[in-house]
Amino acid sequence: MCKYKNYFHNSDTEQDIFKHQRFQIAQLKNISNLANSFMATKGNIVTVTISIRNMLCNCCTNLIRDELTKNDVEVEDIELGKATISFDKTVISLDDINILLENLGFGIIVSRDLKIVESIKRTVFDLIHNMNNVDSVVRKSEYLVEMLGYSYQYLSKLFSKYEKITLERYIILNKIERIKELILQDEYTFSEIAYMMDYSSVQYLSSQFKKETGYSVTEYKKLGLNLKKPLEKLY
């Protein structure tokens, strides 16, 4: 089951918080512009397709659908990254809807750059968690370029601009979560997991795993641990 919190916690620096506040203000202005430019209206009923950040798995769609529905927003269609919604503008506004989503750890995206960042996240998620193509994992930079149509340098720079970690570290954190899952499934040897996740050896895999979790892969399995993090809260 997914659990969500906002990106910015008490441990963030004042600079982080100020940056986030400016980002929120800019987003609200953009959402207001969206409200004036891209929504179809019929009387008081408004229909619009919105892009949503942090939607990485199917439980996200269920959570968002439930929250919007109970707040008088009809969800006509929803998939990872976007939803088409209808609502009575005399009852609720798009800004209100954004606040509902923000409180769940999501939010409406208007910026082109942020839409690309979300596409990066979803592509990394598919690559690490949904695919069994070892070759694609090995050449992950080429895979991202092929899927998104931008150079890896551009994608990496854009990701770092808007997120608190680098793209390379984001990929590593996703690999660590996938390794936890593979250990729990108990279907593969450590050598096979190392190969699947593009580690040159079990020793290298275990060293990085311990750096991130505090346990070697052997200790993690022996103790029967289940320390998986929600993918929306990797950092």
| Higher pLDDT among residues 5 and 69, named by residue | 69
Tally of domains within the chain: 2
DSSP character string of 88-108? ETTT--HHHHHHHHHHTT--E
Question: Domain check: are 131 and 200 in the same one?
Answer: yes
Dump pLDDT digits (tens) for 22-49.
Answer: 444 455 555 555 555 456 677 889 999 9
Q: Find out whether 48 and 85 touch, Cβ atoms under 8 Å.
A: yes
Question: What's the CA gap between 117 and 119, in Å, rounded?
Answer: 5
> pLDDT at position 58, please?
83
Q: Does residue 168 sit within a domain?
A: yes
pTM of the model: 0.71
Question: Domain check: are 123 and 101 in the same one?
Answer: no
Question: What's the CA gap between 129 and 147, in Å, rounded?
Answer: 16
Rg of the chain in Å (alpha carbons): 20
Question: Domain check: are 93 and 142 in the same one?
Answer: no
Question: Domain check: are 131 and 219 in the same one?
Answer: yes
Question: What's the CA gap between 79 and 77, in Å, rounded?
Answer: 7
Q: Give Dmax over CA atoms of the chain in angstroms.
A: 64
Dump pLDDT digits (tens) for 70-108.
Answer: 999 999 999 988 999 999 999 999 999 999 999 988 889
Range of the domain at 63: 14-110
Q: Does residue 1 sit within a domain?
A: no
Q: What is the CATH number of the domain that holds 226?
A: 1.10.10.60
Question: Domain check: are 30 and 120 in the same one?
Answer: no
Q: Does residue 2 sit within a domain?
A: no
What tokens appear for 55 in the block? 């939607």
Q: Identify the CA nearest to 98 among candidates 62, 59, 64, 57.
A: 64
